[in-house]
């Protein structure tokens, strides 16, 4: 029958006992302080102890269905049955823990922590139990040493989160700042009640130990969780991406502002700075031959008209040959007849009337 099927038919009963599959067999175990008998668990007298065995430690002894563990289990239970079997009320030996005595060696001796259980009405005590075991150790080929242990050593409270209160049935008291849940017995798997959302905190597990941590975007300061400074976020305010964006945005903003100011200054200067040619034309002076003083004119001199509507003050006919002037030597007399003469009509010219 495969090892997994050894407990299929509930050989330990359907009450409080638990069936544990070994490599080629099974055993029935009860909670601390109880022994197995007649498919049920019964409260008994507890005598914890530690033995040093002559075998070498192997990591496989931590696996209950391995060959190595079953070998330790058989040798240990056989030793205590031979040592205590003649004492009244002895019923069971339970292995609590197997540990190496030394670290870093290949062939390491190991120790086995056990609880020896007697019926409640038994009249044995620590002296009689210890004496019987010590006598058996001297002649054993498997056990080299025995010593009594505390109840807390056999109860196995979680040393990281609890403190064991010694008694036949010890209590595992939560260390600060831990607390128990309804599923906890020998450990404290929850944070204290002060760890709450109101305080911007939450409870997390790190290596199996509850840790009260600040919520994202908060960090511890003077024992309280406060908001992250500007530019920081995430777990314990370690994310500074927002700060980088703010710095980059500020730098780019300053660059853009500088460019805008520079463009504005250049535009204003260009507006007030005139073209040299334009400036020369605007500031040039034109002399009036009819007056003794010079008159400054605009870029485009004004066109002056006479009362007769002609643009030139000293209006003369368009044809210089028609001009009557005292200076006849400058303009020769006309020796031809114009067919057209200037007119104010839209066409600009009109036929002259025949003189012949």
pLDDT in tens, 250-275: 888 888 888 888 888 888 877 776 55
Q: Which parts of the chain fold into alpha helices (H)?
A: 67-84, 126-138, 151-155, 241-272, 276-283
Residues 131 and 21 in one domain: yes
Residue 69 lies in a domain: yes
pLDDT of residue 356: 44
Which pair of structure tokens corresponds to residue 285? 């002076």
pLDDT of residue 146: 96
pTM of the model: 0.62
Residues 94 and 212 in one domain: no
* Residue where a domain stops, chosen among 127, 155, 183: 155
Residue 211 lies in a domain: yes
Count of domains observed in the chain? 2
Residues 151 and 234 in one domain: no
Residue 225 lies in a domain: yes
- How many CA atoms lie within 13 Å of 315's alpha carbon, on the beta-carbon side? 9
Please write the tens of the pLDDT for every residue from 286-345. 445 554 444 444 555 555 555 555 555 555 555 555 555 455 455 455 554 554 455 555
List Cβ neighbours of 131 (8 Å cut-off, separation of 6 or more): none
Residue 264 lies in a domain: no
pLDDT of residue 134: 96
Closest to 94 in 3D by CA, of 34, 141, 43: 34
Which pair of structure tokens corresponds to residue 268? 């204003």
Residue 96 lies in a domain: yes
- Regions of the chain where pLDDT drops below 70: 1-4, 104-107, 242-243, 273-356
Residues 117 and 30 in one domain: yes
Residue 61 lies in a domain: yes
Residues 149 and 206 in one domain: no
Range of the domain at 222: 197-244
Residues 106 and 223 in one domain: no
Residues 203 and 150 in one domain: no
Residues 137 and 223 in one domain: no
pLDDT of residue 324: 52
Residues 146 and 223 in one domain: no
Residue 166 lies in a domain: no
Closest to 41 in 3D by CA, of 5, 72, 17: 17
Under DSSP, is residue 74 helix (H, G, I), strand (E, B) or coil? Answer: helix
Residues 27 and 97 in one domain: yes
Residue 296 lies in a domain: no
Under DSSP, is residue 26 helix (H, G, I), strand (E, B) or coil? Answer: strand
Neighbours of 133 (CB within 10 A): 22
């Amino acid at each position: 029958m495969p090892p997994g099927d050894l407990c299929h038919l509930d050989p330990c009963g359907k009450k409080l006992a638990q069936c544990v599959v070994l490599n080629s067999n099974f055993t029935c175990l009860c909670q601390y302080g109880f022994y197995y008998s007649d498919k049920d668990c019964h409260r008994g007298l507890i005598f914890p102890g530690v033995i040093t065995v002559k075998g070498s430690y192997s990591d496989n002894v931590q696996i209950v269905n391995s060959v190595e563990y079953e070998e330790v289990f058989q040798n240990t239970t056989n030793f205590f049955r031979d040592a205590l079997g003649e004492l009244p009320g002895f019923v069971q030996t339970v292995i609590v823990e197997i540990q190496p005595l030394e670290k870093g060696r290949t062939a390491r001796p190991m120790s086995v922590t056990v609880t020896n259980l007697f019926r409640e009405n038994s009249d044995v005590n620590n002296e009689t139990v210890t004496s019987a075991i010590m006598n058996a150790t001297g002649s054993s080929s498997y056990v080299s040493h025995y010593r009594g242990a505390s109840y807390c050593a056999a109860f196995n409270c979680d040393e990281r989160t609890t403190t064991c209160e010694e008694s036949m049935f010890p209590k595992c008291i939560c260390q600060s700042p831990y607390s128990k849940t309804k599923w906890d017995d020998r450990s404290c798997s929850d944070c204290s009640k002060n760890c709450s959302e109101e305080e911007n905190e939450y409870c997390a597990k790190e290596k199996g130990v509850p840790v009260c941590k600040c919520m994202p975007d908060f960090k511890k300061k003077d024992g309280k969780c406060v908001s992250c400074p500007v530019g920081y976020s995430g777990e314990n305010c370690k994310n500074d991406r927002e700060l980088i964006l703010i710095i980059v945005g500020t730098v780019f903003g300053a660059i853009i502002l500088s460019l805008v100011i520079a463009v504005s200054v250049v535009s204003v200067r260009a507006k007030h700075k005139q073209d040299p040619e334009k400036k020369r034309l605007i500031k040039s002076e034109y002399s009036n031959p009819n007056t003794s003083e010079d008159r400054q004119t605009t870029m485009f001199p004004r066109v002056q008209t006479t009362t007769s509507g002609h643009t030139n003050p000293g209006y003369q006919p368009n044809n210089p040959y028609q001009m009557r002037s005292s200076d006849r030597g400058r303009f020769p007399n006309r020796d031809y007849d114009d067919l057209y003469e200037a007119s104010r009509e839209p066409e600009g010219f009109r036929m002259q009337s025949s003189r012949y």
